Amino acid sequence: WDFLILFFCLPVVIFNEITKKRLLGDMSCRIVPFMEVSSLGVTTFSLCALGIDRFHAATSPQASTRPIEQCQSIIAKLAVIWVGSMTLSVPEILLWQLAQDTSPVSGGVTEYCTMKPSSNLPESIYSLVLTYQNARMWWYFGCYFCLPILFTVSCQLVTRRIRGTEKKSECRGTKHGQCEGHLNCTIIALTIIYGLCTTPENVCNIVVAYMSPDMSKQTLDLLNLINQFFLFFKCSVTPVLLLCLCRPLGQAFMDCCCCCCEGCGPDTTSSESSADSKLKTEMSSSIFFDKPRETPPPLLALGTPC
């Protein structure tokens, strides 16, 4: 979803700032806020799901022998997160619409998006959209800011309390303990980046809600642009941070890039290096799961160093 934000929303925002015209017209005024709010929901519920997963991994009676989660279960969880986030963002489609204004300096017509429900909506839907507009600021702050941060912090504190000092000392230095530590650091880093990038938007929403009559349109547009910049920054940093902290994921990504750049020719040295990298990836893939491989990979029988 971060890539969707960067490849679709970022060009639309840049085009609007340069030409003062909305790319795709009224459709972009509705789709861009919908995708941006959906991005916040996907990140929020993903952090909550990761916190629950780490809690189960820490409180399991046999944490080192938990079965690897099936692909169907992971896809089902991702579907719930994505569909739920998109469903909660549907009011954004009905809330925004395209408006035009004449510039007093140049005399040209500028297009901008305004938060105003259409009067053509049915009365019941129109009242629901108005209710959402009035509660939008606190909904943002409670669901998309407080929920993931408090949830992640609570899961980390409860996990450390349940593990205790004795269990930590036993797992310290082992491969399983190192994997758990890497995963916890990854979740904490993702939460910190998300919190830092969404704080300006929530502050601006509160300021605009109570001081919007005293603020000019240029100031409101600037605040909106700053909020979108932090959202794009979050979408850019999150994949890079994930690739850097999760070493097996980063190694697999680099292997794919090298394969695409150099080609898959029948070179002996490249085949040996790819075999070694595959072995390292297989050996370190337990960072994503709570169960190490019970049977050694087939490459171990060739006498390669372990």
Q: Enter the pTM of the model.
A: 0.74
Give the N- to C-terminal CA distance of the chain in Å, as an integer: 37
Whose tokens are 């909506």? That residue is: 121
Cβ distance 231 to 197 under 8 Å? Answer: yes
The amino acid at 241: L
Q: How far is CA 286 from CA 48, 71, 121, 233, in A?
A: 21, 15, 52, 30
The DSSP symbol for 142 reads I
Cβ distance 244 to 179 under 8 Å? Answer: no
Q: How far is CA 48 from CA 23, 29, 36, 145, 245, in A?
A: 35, 30, 19, 12, 19
The domains located in the chain, with CATH, are 1-60+69-165+177-260 (1.20.1070.10)
What is the distance between the alpha carbons of residues 85 and 141, in angstroms, rounded to a whole number? 15
Put residue 179 in one of left, alpha, beta given phi > 0 → left and psi -120 to 50 → alpha: alpha
What is the distance between the alpha carbons of residues 190 and 178, in angstroms, rounded to a whole number? 18
- Longest Cα pair distance anywhere in the chain, in angstroms? 78
Instruction: Answer positive or negative: Cα dihedral of 178, 183, 187, 192.
Output: positive
Chain length of the chain = 306
Per-residue pLDDT tens listing for the chain (306 residues) = 888 888 888 888 888 888 878 878 778 888 989 999 999 999 999 998 888 887 777 776 655 555 677 888 889 989 999 999 999 999 988 888 888 777 666 667 777 788 888 878 888 888 888 888 888 888 889 899 999 999 888 888 887 777 665 454 455 446 666 667 777 788 888 889 898 988 888 888 888 777 766 677 777 778 888 888 888 999 888 888 888 877 777 777 788 877 766 654 444 444 445 545 554 554 444 444 444 444 555 554 454 454
